[in-house]
Amino acid sequence: MQTSQPAYFSQYRSLKLTKDDKGVLVAEFHSNGGPFIMSAQAHTEFVDAFYRIAQDRANKIVIITGAGGEFITDVAWSSFGDVADPGVWSQVHDEGIQALENIANIRVPVIAAIEGRAHVHSDYALLASVIVAGEGATFQDVAHFSAGVAPGDGIFTTWSYRAGAGRAEAFLLNPQPLSAHTAHEWGVVAEVVPNGRALSRARELAELYLKAPEVTRRNTRVHFIQPLKERIVREVGYGLSLEGASAADLVKSMKAQGEAVTEKRKSA
């Protein structure tokens, strides 16, 4: 059973928000109802969306998941424009910090239900109190080192906090798919369930957590997330500055290569 939904639930193109009569909110990433590809518009939306979710005390438990059997699959790079432009990157920088801080500021238990590919912004999932993953789920970072930019947007902060710095560095420098079972061995994933069962298991955990008094639930989340929140505040602004510089250098090198090809064609 669902209750009437707050107005902000319908304001986001890439985040479907639904809440049952017990206050369990499900935030589902999607692109036109299917698997989600990160875009500049969604990047902007998420800042406000997670702020409103955190602010709304009627949300008793929050579950984050993805549509179409995936979490976040890829990035629509062109939607971000010229990331070598300081004005463009300033917006990416600020939104990147704010989105993570706003997820960390959700003051009720957060459960991530992961199916399929968590290949972009798995840091969103790692900000959850608990991750439940389908056995076929994989974690990867396709948006940074493998794409030519430094992984500074919180991906290292969250993975090093959850899995340890050594594992995080190896994972990000040689970004290959990491299975749900390996992520479980690393302590990142709390439970591995049959494919298609992650969301239903997250709902079962939500029912369990709801048995605790509300202030206990809220204060437990606040207590558990505080050390990671401190690292986000301390590290991510700096990391995104480094990422922005590397993105500008990547754009510069790509332009130089394009010009070299053009000159070669002219002289041929």
CATH code for position 163: 3.90.226.10
Is residue 149 within 8 Å of 239, Cβ to Cβ?
no
pLDDT of residue 229: 98
Question: Does any domain span residue 113?
Answer: yes
- Using alpha carbons, list the distances in angstroms from residue 200 to 26, 115, 131, 176, 188: 11, 12, 13, 28, 19
pLDDT of residue 265: 62
d(CA 253, CA 2): 52
Is residue 41 within 8 Å of 80, Cβ to Cβ?
no
Question: Does any domain span residue 159?
Answer: yes
Question: Does any domain span residue 2?
Answer: no
Question: Does any domain span residue 23?
Answer: yes
Q: Which domain holds residue 203?
A: 7-267
Q: Which tokens sit at 4?
A: 């009437």
The answer to pTM > 0.75 is: yes
Question: Does any domain span residue 1?
Answer: no
Instruction: Mark the ranges of the chain whose per-residue pLDDT is less than 70.
Output: 1-3, 259-268
Question: Does any domain span residue 82?
Answer: yes
Q: Please give the tally of structural domains in the chain.
A: 1
- Using alpha carbons, list the distances in angstroms from residue 206 to 96, 133, 137: 28, 15, 21
pLDDT of residue 49: 98
Question: Does any domain span residue 258?
Answer: yes
pLDDT of residue 3: 56
d(CA 156, CA 245): 17
Question: Does any domain span residue 35?
Answer: yes
pLDDT of residue 175: 84
pLDDT of residue 154: 96
pLDDT of residue 254: 85
